Amino acid sequence: MRLLVRCASVGLLLLAGVHPAAAALKVVATTEDLATIAQEIGGDKVAVETMARGYQDPHFVEPKPSFILKLHAADLLVLVGRELEIGWLPPLIQQSRNANIQPGARGYMDASLTVKILEIPTGQITRAMGDVHPQGNPHYWLDPDNGKSIAKEIADKLAELRPGDAALFSQRQAAFASRLDDAKKRWLAAMQPYKGVKVVTYHRSFPNFAERFVLDVVGYVEPRPGIPPSPQHTLDLINDMKRQGVKIVLVEPYFDLKTPNAIGRETGAQVLVLPPSVGGEKEVPDYFALFDYDINLLVGALKQIGAPAK
Ligand SMILES: [Zn+2]
């Protein structure tokens, strides 16, 4: 019976002039940032699904049975890598029972291999010490140049999996890169007057963003990446911010605002909820909107503050 139904649907596809092999490639991305880039490159040749939402902490995502179903059906898995997803992804890949997307298989793509990675530890750092960035900073997508590298990797991988559409993927990738170059000029111009402004961030989510747009990140609400604030660290941070005249605290949408707000009250700094990911706020549906939103918010606050603390 099942076979009959299958034959019938194949027949229908053939009648419609669509070969079944040309069905959209099923891509699963661990984050909305990677998903939106994969969609830009793949167009209607891909069907993209996401696991972590942009308003969730990507280090700590609750694994859901639906993730296993998505992975089971996937032709390609795109992940951030650098151990960002190590706390939740590996068992899901295993449970998917999909040979195509196991580490090392053709359908497994670690997006961190050609991008610029910052904060690579020089000494011995392990997760046993509580640090969730033992392989360098995994929040690298917040530099448009890294976005371009990710897009290139995805285009190459899609072409490998679907050689017949290679020219299309390459064309879409070139168009994406060129739009990104234009947008980057606009973003750099908007941030230009505030070059070198000192900020504090909750988690170390913004080093690539800070490097690209020349912000000086002088401290963090977390004592170490992944470790919640402690009273002593918060006190030290407040004193540091007062000494250096820091007037901006950036907080990712998934962190409790209690400590940042207390720091804001003590130092007179503005606390801004700055999404590090697509989907982090409803106004951020894609990769371009992410920079538009974050830079708008920052520039608005910096204008209010007046002369930047440098
Ligand atoms: Zn992190």
Instruction: Quick: pLDDT tens for 155-210.
Output: 999 999 999 999 999 999 999 999 999 999 999 999 999 999 999 999 999 999 99
pTM beyond 0.85, yes or no: yes
The pLDDT value given to residue 14:
46
Question: What's the rounded mean pLDDT across residues 144-154?
Answer: 98
Pairing verdict, β 46-50 and 108-110: unpaired
Query: What is the Å distance from ligand 1's center to 92 Cα?
Result: 20
Query: What is the Å distance from ligand 1's center to 37 Cα?
Result: 20
The pLDDT value given to residue 246:
98
Q: What is the largest CA-CA distance in the chain?
A: 76
The pLDDT value given to residue 307:
56
Flag whether pLDDT at 20 surpasses 80.
no
Is residue 215 classed as helix, strand or coil in its secondary structure? Answer: strand
Query: What is the Å distance from ligand 1's center to 137 Cα?
Result: 7
Eight-state DSSP code of residue 86: T
Query: What is the Å distance from ligand 1's center to 205 Cα?
Result: 6
The pLDDT value given to residue 129:
62
User: How far is 158 from 152, CA to CA, in rounded Å?
Assistant: 10
Instruction: Quick: pLDDT tens for 235-285.
Output: 999 999 999 999 999 999 999 999 999 999 999 999 999 999 999 999 999
Flag whether pLDDT at 6 surpasses 70.
no
Query: What is the Å distance from ligand 1's center to 197 Cα?
Result: 22
The pLDDT value given to residue 306:
78
Query: What is the Å distance from ligand 1's center to 58 Cα?
Result: 8
Query: What is the Å distance from ligand 1's center to 204 Cα?
Result: 6
Query: What is the Å distance from ligand 1's center to 199 Cα?
Result: 17
Query: What is the Å distance from ligand 1's center to 6 Cα?
Result: 45
Beta bridge partners of 72: none
Residue 24: half-sphere exposure toward Cβ, Cα within 13 Å:
14
Query: What is the Å distance from ligand 1's center to 44 Cα?
Result: 32
Instruction: Quick: pLDDT tens for 80-133.
Output: 999 999 999 999 999 999 999 999 999 999 999 999 999 998 877 666 666 789
Query: What is the Å distance from ligand 1's center to 13 Cα?
Result: 45
Contact 264, 241 (CB under 8 A): no
Query: What is the Å distance from ligand 1's center to 101 Cα?
Result: 24
Alpha carbon distances (Å) from 156 to 66, 79, 96: 28, 15, 24
Question: Please, is 4 exposed, middle or buried when counting C-beta atoms within 10 Å of its C-beta (0-12, 13-18, 19+)?
Answer: exposed
Task: Indicate the pLDDT class of residue 5, thresholds 50, 70 and 90.
Answer: very low
Residues 6+ apart with CB under 8 A from 147: 37, 141, 180, 287
The pLDDT value given to residue 82:
96
Q: Which of 301, 299, 40 is nearest to 188 (CA)?
A: 299
Run of H or E including 216: strand 215-220
Average of per-residue pLDDT values in the chain: 92
Query: What is the Å distance from ligand 1's center to 45 Cα?
Result: 32
